[in-house]
Structure 1
Amino acid sequence: MVSANTPLKQKTVKERAEKRLTSIRSRSRAAEKPSIKGNLIQPVHVTKSDALVKRIAERKSN
């Protein structure tokens, strides 16, 4: 294998780096999905004397 002694052109190196960075950034932006923050389901506090709880208990016993 023969090594070439051609100097690197800074302008072309910068252009290639810029292209690569922009493609990486665009891919990472596309991969970002909007995330939902917080609780989707809010807890509901019920007691044994609530009508709904009584109905559920009656159905289970039947």
Structure 2
Amino acid sequence: MHAKPDFAEVHFMLGNLYMDKTGDTDKAVAHLKKAEKLFIKLDDNLRLSHVRQMLAHEGA
């Protein structure tokens, strides 16, 4: 993670992991918001929509 801090897919996967496996919604939301910003930069609308659905589900 430290080698590529702006790797959107990693933030997306970490958000999923924290949400589904650990229940740590604060960390999940932080990673998902970072992924959201990066997917906007990458113009990846499919993954962006997934991130936004997850954030909406968490009320973020």
Higher relative contact order (CA 8 A, sep 6+): 2
With the shorter chain as reference, the TM-score category is 0.3 to 0.5
Q: What's the TM-score once normalised by structure 1's chain length?
A: 0.31
Q: Which structure dedicates a bigger proportion of its chain to helix?
A: 2
Q: What's the TM-score once normalised by structure 2's chain length?
A: 0.32
